[in-house]
Amino acid sequence: MVNMLIMGKPGAGKGTLASKLLEHYRLAHISTGNIYREEIAKGSAIGQEAQKYISQGELVPDDMTNGIVYDILKNHPMPHGFMLDGYPRTKAQAIALDEMLHTLSIKLDVVINMDVDDELLMIRMADRRVCPKCGATYNVTTKPPKTAGVCDVCGTLLIQRADDSEESVKNRLRIYNRATRPLLGYYEKTDLLMTVDGALPTLTVFYEIVSKLDGINRGHH
Ligand code: AMP
């Protein structure tokens, strides 16, 4: 059982690493971004409110996001632990999370930070393609489809996500630097922070994390 938090700049390649860790440790995935996208798709009150901020590229207000996370931590069975992904995004959220975990007697084991420099990030985002039909993701340099521009899975023409445009990426980086980067210092003080090199292949990073975590767990027993 392991409770983790995964952080990184937008586009750092968190998604691929997260899915490997989720599978390996059989974790419950708590992604506030996914939750908001689902609520928006359902047209719920939460979705409608969140959409106002998300469509502007802004963060949703802390109270709303904190409430959603608390509800899940409190009510959702997570026998193998959880991965918080995309939360906390601000220091106020981190403080709220600490309080929630304390109230619920839950221990956080590790905060994984994927570190990538901005330049590499801009290149990666520009190379990203997604299938609008089945959601499969590609990268024209590192993970190209068999036929250029066409989805391997369903044959649909690939597109660039609207929020992968250069302007949008720059804006998300600005928000990250302003609101989220201060969290690194916050978690550094707790000794939970594990920074990994996001420029390395995902599998390399994955094995590094697993071996460190297994080492930590062995130390406990
Ligand atoms: P993501 O897929 O994690 O990039 O999230 C998509 C959007 O949802 C973000 O750009 C924010 O507008 C919103 N969002 C997701 N998580 C949070 C959070 N922890 N705090 C505030 N807004 C969030």
Q: Kindly report, residue by residue over 119-145, the tens digit of the pLDDT.
A: 888 888 888 899 999 989 899 988 899
Q: How many CB atoms lie within 10 A of CB 198?
A: 22
Quote the CA–CA distance of 173 and 167 in Å, as a whole number. 10
Q: Which residue has the tokens 């390399």?
A: 204
Assign 43 to helix, strand or coil: coil
* Active-site residue (options: 9, 89, 124, 129): 89
* Active-site residue (options: 52, 161, 178, 181): 161
List, for residues 55-112, the tens digit of each pLDDT value.
887 899 999 999 999 999 999 999 999 999 999 999 999 999 999 999 999 999 999 9
Distance from residue 37's CA to the centre of ligand 1 (Å): 9
Ordered domains of the chain (ranges, CATH)? 4-116+167-220 (3.40.50.300)
Ligand 1 atom nearest 93 alpha carbon: 19
Q: Is the pLDDT of residue 219 over 80?
A: no
Q: Which of these, 110, 88, 89, 125, lies nearest to 13 by C-alpha position?
A: 125
Residue 174 annotated among the catalytic residues of the structure: no
pTM given for the model: 0.85
